């Protein structure tokens, strides 16, 4: 008689099929996982890029609206800041408080150009500098230390513990001088934002 060879009836054939199926499943699993992982990574990258782009857009829009806007009443512009010179006089801490209420702070002088700009206002005023936290350590209101001595007036600062706040005095012969004064003295002041 003709022998019908039925492979599925042989135990070794069944084992082979199972093994084959297992291989296929395993492969599918690996492919699935790696696709998932790839998608995850690229979506993370996309999220980071999107946040970056949004930040850049916001920065640009702010810069643009700064350019577009004319100075608010009473403020004048120099480089990337606006300045408000008070018309009344107050002690240092009340002067600073006024600036904070205007969304600004007492001026921090960052460059020779800014020093020159302030001197050209032909006035004297409180600036955002004092040493009332540590005597002799002059700090700007933004927390940075005063890193040059060349704008002190001659023999300034000279008040020790009694004169912890700094006044800007204009001068027609140079770029203006800083003097230490008692913080409770009254003066006009200048805000920057
Ligand atoms: C002093 O500090 C200002 C920032 O407040 C900075 O722009 C300037 O480069 C500094 N100058 C020196 C000599 O470190
Ligand atoms: C000096 O300035 C700091 C901020 O830099 C401020 O906290 C402190 O109150 C000021 N001192 C006085 C006497 O106002």
What are the tens digits of pLDDT across the range 95-105? Answer: 999 999 999 99
Cβ-based neighbours of 35, under 8 Å, separated by 6 or more: none
Residue 11, CA distances (Å) to 1, 3, 22, 91, 183 in order: 23, 18, 17, 100, 99
44 in ligand 1 pocket by Cβ < 6 Å?
no
Task: Report the distance separating Cα 115 and Cα 151, nearest Å.
Answer: 9
Closest CA to 50 of 64, 35, 63, 58: 58
Residue nearest (by alpha carbon) to ligand 1 atom 11 = 147
Q: Is the pTM of this model over 0.75?
A: no
Q: What is the mean pLDDT of residues 159-166?
A: 93
Say whether pLDDT at 133 is over 80.
yes
188 in ligand 1 pocket by Cβ < 6 Å?
no
Task: Report the distance separating Cα 64 and Cα 48, nearest Å.
Answer: 24
Exposed/middle/buried for residue 39 (C-beta within 10 Å: 0-12, 13-18, 19+): exposed
> If you measure from the C-alpha of residue 100 to the centroid of ligand 1, how many angstroms do you get, rounded to a whole number?
24
| Architecture of the domain whose range is 75-192 | Roll (3.10)
80 in ligand 1 pocket by Cβ < 6 Å?
no
What pLDDT, on the 0 to 100 scale, is given for residue 55?
93
Residue 25 binned pLDDT confidence (cut-offs 50, 70, 90): very high
Residue nearest (by alpha carbon) to ligand 2 atom 9 = 93
Cβ-based neighbours of 161, under 8 Å, separated by 6 or more: 135
93 in ligand 2 pocket by Cβ < 6 Å?
yes
Number of H helices, E strands in the chain: 3, 8
């Amino acid at each position: 008689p003709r022998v019908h060879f039925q492979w599925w009836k042989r135990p070794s054939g069944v084992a082979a099929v199972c093994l084959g199926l297992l291989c296929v499943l395993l492969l599918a699993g690996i492919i699935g996982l790696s696709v998932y992982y790839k998608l995850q990574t690229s979506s993370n990258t996309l999220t980071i890029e999107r946040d970056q782009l949004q930040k850049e857009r916001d920065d640009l829009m702010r810069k643009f609206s700064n350019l577009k806007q004319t100075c608010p009443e009473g403020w004048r512009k120099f480089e990337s800041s606006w300045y408000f010179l008070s018309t009344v006089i107050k002690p240092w801490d009340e002067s600073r408080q006024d600036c904070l209420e205007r969304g600004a702070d007492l001026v921090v002088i960052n460059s020779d150009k800014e020093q020159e700009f302030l001197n050209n206002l032909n006035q004297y005023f409180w600036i955002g500098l004092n040493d009332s936290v540590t005597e002799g350590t002059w700090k700007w209101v933004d927390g940075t230390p005063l890193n040059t001595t060349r704008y002190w007036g001659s023999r300034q600062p000279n008040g020790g513990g009694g004169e912890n706040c700094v006044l800007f005095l204009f001068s027609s012969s140079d770029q203006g001088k800083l003097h230490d004064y008692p913080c409770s003295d009254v003066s006009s002041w200048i805000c920057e934002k």
